[in-house]
Amino acid sequence: MVTSLVLPTSQLGRPAAQSAHSTAEGPFLRLHHSSSAVFGQDPKLKLIASTEKAVGGGGISLFHEAGVWVGDASGKGDVYITSNMLETKDDALHIKICRLRLGEEFDAGAEATLRPSANDAGVFVSEEVEYEDLDQLAQLVPMANGATASVDGKDILWCSQGQALRLPLSKEPVAGSLMLCREVNGHFLATPLVNNFRGREFNALNDVCCHAPTGAIFFTDPDYGLAQGFKGPSQLPNGVWRLMPETGVLSLVADDLKKPNGIVCSPDGKTCYITDTDFIYGDGSMDPTRAGTIYAFDIVGTEAPQLHNKRVFALVDCGAPDGIKVDTEGNVYTGTFEGVDIYAPSGILLGKILLRDSSGQQGGCANLVFGPAGVLFLLSETSVWAAKIEAIGALKGVRMGSSPRRAGL
């Protein structure tokens, strides 16, 4: 299928947040011949968790950000997920962390029947999946957002946005930080790596990735904390930062994005992809003239890699790009307001995975993560989907060493 460049005038002018595709076209939409190498001959899409009211839940947005896979080659493992902002009875804001535990019998290509989770009757999961609320971890990582695992899977590096406004009654303001967390005997331990730049507090750390050739950690810091009402006035520009964990050297490497959000490095370590979600404001309103764009940067240098040569990689056609990942061939995957867009390293749109809610209406994908070989997990606010495809993820874990150097604390 090739997208038409000429349409009747009556079909033009659709809202930028509205999908141009019908349910009959999905869920796997092939837009370029190279999409066969991504999807394979018989891709499958399986609902593995949901809080939608139509299936018996409360419609809570538990499945929003992070998307971290920690597992083995058998397919057994865990997907760690952070919720969207939730309100408490005392008018405070908080974010939950959960994990979906997949057994060895998990098969993304098999049909599934959802059942109430043994741990939360409002969360419905497929037979090979269990839901677990990680409340203790959420308390250690205030307003958790994006995350990535270490190379050995023993640690997870979390973006804590911090919180200064609309706090729970018993809480004190806390600065946003990168938090290194490990589970020991069923309890989580957390070590902050950085929570300021020379005394100036971060805005609201959003997403984090590792540059495998150098061990550098890149993370984004947009001002959504201010826009969404849980942080005070900004002390730093919206930016992208680099932390060298072995030395503790922290540097701003980009400050020319409006709302830097998702971030990932290419498999060869030469390119950094960053999504800019300026399209959507903190209050949920949207402006199609603002950036809903993936930018590419060259990664230059080995001792302290810099981001050079910013350029447009792709403008998504439905809403804004959020989470972003790559596969072993360098193809780029990003969540949009209609599902997932998949681009070749050249920027050509190869295809889409279109998501629908239980009523058949347009869904969306906030974040995504590759799991076992050939499985892509899609986080759709109230639902989690598993796509069985041909492509294999190329996410590189963080190398922390035996004693990472803490910076700015």
Which pTM was predicted? 0.97
Q: What is the pLDDT of residue 1?
A: 61
Burial class of residue 359, CB neighbours in 10 A (0-12, 13-18, 19+): exposed
Mean pLDDT (10-residue bins), the chain, 409 residues: 80 92 90 97 97 94 97 90 94 97 94 94 96 98 97 95 93 96 97 97 98 97 95 97 96 98 98 97 91 98 96 98 98 98 98 92 96 96 98 88 58
For β-strands 144-149 and 129-133, DSSP reports them as unpaired
DSSP code of residue 105 = T
Span 91-134, pLDDT tens digits: 999 999 999 999 999 999 999 899 999 999 999 999 999 999 99
Amino acid at 154: K
Secondary structure class of 55 (helix, strand, coil): helix
Q: What is the pLDDT of residue 407?
A: 60
Burial class of residue 193, CB neighbours in 10 A (0-12, 13-18, 19+): buried
Residue 299 CB partners (closer than 8 Å, separation 6+): 211, 265, 269, 270, 271, 272, 305, 306, 307, 308
- Single out the residue of 311, 314, 312 nearest to residue 331, CA to CA: 314
Residue 388 CB partners (closer than 8 Å, separation 6+): 43, 44, 45, 46, 108, 109, 374, 375
d(CA 298, CA 271): 5
Q: Which CATH superfamily is domain 23-388 in?
A: TolB, C-terminal domain (2.120.10.30)
Span 380-397, pLDDT tens digits: 999 999 999 999 999 888
Question: How do the domains of the chain map onto residue ranges?
Answer: 23-388
Residue 291 CB partners (closer than 8 Å, separation 6+): 257, 258, 259, 276, 277, 278, 279, 320
Q: What is the pLDDT of residue 22?
A: 86
